[in-house]
Amino acid sequence: MLKQPQRLSDDLFENSSMSFGDHLEELRKAMTKAFLWIGLGSLFGLLMSNAIIGFIAEPLEKQLELHLIERFKLAYQKYNGVEPTEKLTQFYQANSVIPEIVWVDPIFIQQLTGHDPSQSLGGGESAPQKQATSLDTIWKGMDEKQIDRLVQIPLWRSMKSKLKTFSSFEGFMIWLKTGLVAGVVLACPGVFWHIWEFLAAGLYPHERKYVYWYLPLSVTLFLSGILLAHFVIFPLVLGFLLEYNLSLDVEFEPRLNDYMTFAIMLPLGFGIAFQLPVVMVMLNRFGIVSVEFFVEKWRIAVLGIAFASMVLTPADLYSMLGMFVPLTLLYFVGIFLCRYMPRGPGIGSQAFDPQP
């Protein structure tokens, strides 16, 4: 028969508890170690920052290619009344050009180039070259009579679109920001380890085994959120936004700061939001929230998730659903873990020392 449970001795605690000062000291140590991990990760992140920026810009390049092809088709159909042939589309893809109509003065062209273009039509020999008139002389001779001579001709112009900056410091700041955020992602296993180490310092010895359950779960959920956002949600969001610009007939010129900030912070936000099941389990294990409360209030929780998805995303359909659906599923995963994840007497309970 078991005797009355007794508390186990532990060098870190007095009567199996820690004073407020001890908690602050453990917090200081955990924060210091976590920042060292972040510093080390940021060092590697800065070294690889250029490659990371190129990797993050890849989804934009793919979506821009599709966007510009659609712009080319719309422009061609506008001026010709029919869709472009496959050969023309392939020509566009190879050269990234788009047709547009411009007004020109034939006499101006003749004076500028020194010959009459009409003389070379049909494969005949072109007229002898004359000395080209200076551009300044032609512009000075322009008058209202030229308006009557203007004709429309189609030209092809380049449609290559690259990330642009409007400040000399913008490129450096994005390079720095990218390296620091990459450092946080690279350092996340070490950071999570020290967070759980701090929490374990306030637990009884029999409770510290939970760290080996929660740490891999935290890291896995964090990285899963980042990967889902970058490879699935982000391309869908870009496609939606570019399609909307296309419907408004607006030319899209992506700015480096806006795009990179959005491309970095969206996956990071998903990674943090995916910690929901771990937070639920911790609240339950510490006796703050019961499983029954999570089950009873699931409708309110789903409503809160929907509101958070609207606030934390660009408010387009894909990103909102991309966050709402996984978080809703993770909420019920959290309930499942609270009910069935292996446990001892419970976090916050006294340790038992069975004796005959």
> Does 15 have pLDDT greater than 60?
no
> Does 14 have pLDDT greater than 60?
no
Instruction: State the chain's mean pLDDT as an integer.
Output: 75
pLDDT in tens, 226-236: 889 888 888 88
Among residues 355, 41, 3, the alpha carbon closest in space to that of 186 is found at: 41
Three-state SS at 191: helix
Q: Which two tokens stand for residue 119?
A: 């003389």
Quote the CA–CA distance of 113 and 132 in Å, as a whole number: 5
The residues that bridge with 164 in the sheet, in sequence order, are: 255
pLDDT in tens, 267-276: 888 988 898 9
With beta carbons less than 8 A apart as the criterion, state whether 62 and 199 touch.
no
pLDDT over 90 for what percent of the chain?
8
With beta carbons less than 8 A apart as the criterion, state whether 155 and 242 touch.
no
Give 200's contacts (C-beta < 8 A, 6+ positions apart). 207, 208, 210, 211
* C-alpha pair distances (Å), 57 with each of 28, 187, 311: 38, 23, 25
Among residues 212, 192, 186, the alpha carbon closest in space to that of 34 is found at: 192
Give 66's contacts (C-beta < 8 A, 6+ positions apart). 239, 242
Q: Give me the torsion for CA of 322, 328, 333, 338, rounded to 10°.
A: 140
Q: Give me the torsion for CA of 144, 146, 148, 154, rounded to 10°.
A: -140
The answer to which of 43-52, 173-182, 206-215, 315-324 has the lowest mean pLDDT is 206-215
